[in-house]
Chain A
Amino acid sequence: MSGVISHEFEYLKPKNLDELVDFLTQYKTKAKILSGGTDLIVRIKDGFESPEVLIDIKGIGELKELKFNGNSLFIGASVTFNELIDSEVVRERYPLLWEASKSVASTAIRNRATLVGNICSAVPSLDSGPALLDYEAEVILKSRNGERKVNINEFFLGPRKTVLKEDEFVYGVLIPFINRKNGSAYVKLGRYNGEDLAQVGIGILVVEGKEYRVAHCAVGPVAARARKVEQLLNGKDLNDSLIEEAKKLIVEEISPITDIRATKEYRIHMAKIMLERGLKAAVDRLNGKGPKYGERLI
């Protein structure tokens, strides 16, 4: 037997959004939404989650949509990481998201794991976090009472905590398109390729006109933007002394912990190095040079 699930639950598979809303209104916190299950099933096996009902959303067509309308990209709740990687629009127009998606676990996990599942799990190390934060993505939440949009910067409340209410679900994520030249980099430190979570993740987006966006994951309770570093960098050309100042500032913005994967001290040390490499790569890429997207920077 394969680490069987001893906990019993009911399985529901709504055919459309109305049915999903009905189920959520009825079961509220007793229900959990199942999409890829790469996180949830492990949580149930470990006894951290014990839902009475699992609601499988993979039968709802609208949630599978990945659409670009010229101004923004819509990523439906059941779009997988491999669907993002295979999308030409994502690769060409949202390379930071593409690079971050490539860093998620392995092919077989990415064939199931979804970006929306990643943000709903809201673990501090979520790889999609820095990219979504830098792109100023909006999360579309729906419930019986209608729809609301929340900026990703306000979405995470703490480890595994989000603003999602008990009868709400995430319909999808909307990412505005930056219509100016830009370069970006997601630098991820893991113990080995293939499956590991980030020990530190740094996402950099540099937009033409000397605008810098810097976000991090796995070095604080939630993935977040490094606003002080951004303020320092904005409007300036990148050079060695500026990078040194930025490295000093990033330490003030992160609050890593020591856990099974790395010590606090190691994370702080690496965050500085990764910030430097990320900034250089992003600026180089903006200028049409530098490493190819997807190439490991650490």
Chain B
Amino acid sequence: MRKISFILNGEKRSVYVEPNDLLLDVLRDKLGDKTPKYGCGRGDCGTCTVLLNGKSVRSCLILAVEVDGQEITTLEGISKGGLTELQKYFLKHNSFQCGFCAPGMIVTLEEFLKKNPKPDEEEVKEAISGNLCRCTGYVPIIRAVMDYVKNK
């Protein structure tokens, strides 16, 4: 066991972890942030995506000890002040069925839209190509993002 400290959604948190504890488990089971989901566990599906120092990463492939002293933002942090504009567009367009992939999608788009605020549809598709939705919900998701971009 070792103690690590990091900034989670703007607040300093300290927690005891084993070297083989994954960031995803520590966030969900030790720190009670259930927004990153466990999907494939191998970095393929994107449901566990969080921001590490502002960059999207797979929390199922990162050891908790690696983020000691770093900054982590989850969906909970992104929508801290209530639903974001993008989330409202997700609601407007029913951009989810089971909702399981939605947190990873929003986190991924958070980084992407900061870098590229006026993307075209192809760029949006490329950006979320690492986030799998098994309800075949891509069309409403892309529609929501394009509507959001257009009205921003």
Which of B8-16, B85-93, B122-130 touches A?
B122-130
Whether B46 pairs with A106 at a CB distance below 8 angstroms is yes
Q: Give the contacts of B126-152 with A (CB-CB under 8 A).
A: 126-127, 129-132
- CB within 8 Å for A112 and B61 given contacts A2-B24, A194-B130, A195-B130: yes
Q: How many Å lie between the Cα of A249 and that of B127 in the bound state?
A: 38
Considering the complex, which residues of chain A in the window 1-25 have a beta carbon less than 8 Å from any beta carbon of chain B?
Answer: 1-11
Nearest CB of A to B131, in Å: 8
A54→B24 CA distance, assembly (Å) = 19
- The answer on a CB contact under 8 Å between A3 and B38 is yes
A37 contacts the other chain (CB 8 A): yes
A138 interfacial contact with B, CB 8 Å: no
B67 to nearest A CB, angstroms?
Answer: 11
The answer to whether A298 has its CB under 8 Å from any CB of chain B is no
Q: Number of contacting residues on B, CB 8 A?
A: 39
With A and B bound together, what is the CA distance between A2 and B41 in angstroms?
A: 6
Q: Using Cβ atoms and an 8 Å threshold, which residues of chain B touch A1?
A: 25, 29, 38
B residues in contact with A82, CB < 8 Å? 55
Are B44 and A7 closer than 8 Å at their CB atoms? no
B112 within 8 A of A: yes
Chain A residues within an 8 Å CB radius of B129: 106, 192-195
Of the candidates A105, A108, A111, the one having the most CB atoms from chain B within 10 angstroms of its own CB is A108
Hey, which chain A residues are within 8 Å of B127, CB to CB? 107
Contact A45 B130 (CB under 8 A): no
Known contacts: A56-B66, A106-B46. The answer to whether A5 contacts B58 by CB under 8 A is no
Q: Is the interface of A mostly helix, strand, loop or mixed?
A: loop
Residue count of chain A within 8 Å CB distance of chain B:
32
Interface membership of A58, Cβ < 8 A: yes
Instruction: State whether the Cβ of B74 lies closer than 8 Å to any Cβ in chain A.
Output: no
Nearest-neighbor residue (CB-CB) of B56 within chain A: A108
A101-122 contact mask (Cβ, 8 Å, vs B): 1 or 0: 0000111110110000000000
B63 touches A106 (CB 8 A): no
Supplied contacts A105-B130, A112-B58, A195-B129, 15 more A-B pairs, CB within 8 Å: A3-B38, A5-B22, A9-B19, A10-B19, A37-B66, A41-B61, A42-B42, A58-B66, A106-B131, A107-B56, A107-B108, A107-B112, A108-B46, A108-B49, A108-B130
